[in-house]
Amino acid sequence: MAAKRPRAVLWLTILAAPGALVVETALRKLIFPPEFDEVRAFLEPMLTPVGWGLAAVAAMGAALGLVVQRRVALKRLARLPDAATVDDRYREIFAVFLLTTAVPQIPALLSTFVFMFGASVWTVIAAIAFCSVGVVAQALRVPAMAENP
């Protein structure tokens, strides 16, 4: 019988960046005073380029995350005994997945803060889109890497 796979953690990892945007927006609307919109409008021209930079870093992070995932997973798998099962390999690779998804997620999460203070919404949407593509691509590789190291 195969071990139970941590699907909830997988989905929480995939939805972390979009969820951060939702939480940030809800908190800003509920807690911040109406005058904060004036501050955001003032800062928008200065922060939007920063937001686009974070989107570019998230895109590079998505690609880099795949490379880092593969390298770290191969090192972790090499430490396993020869008798390791698919479930043993899955656990190791899933642990690597949780680590390497931070590569694209950090700039995407930072972009939500930049958006909170006035950057264009398109910058955070782009960063989260790049991040999500990278995280999903890494997630899809986990079972395949466990079965065919």
Q: Which two tokens stand for residue 40?
A: 């955001």
- Regarding pTM above 0.75, the answer is yes
Helices 36-79 and 86-100 cross at an angle (nearest 10°) of 150
Q: pLDDT in tens for each of the 149 residues of the chain?
A: 455 677 888 888 889 999 999 999 999 999 999 899 999 999 999 999 999 999 999 999 999 999 999 999 999 999 999 888 888 889 999 999 999 999 999 999 999 999 999 999 999 999 999 999 999 999 999 988 888 86
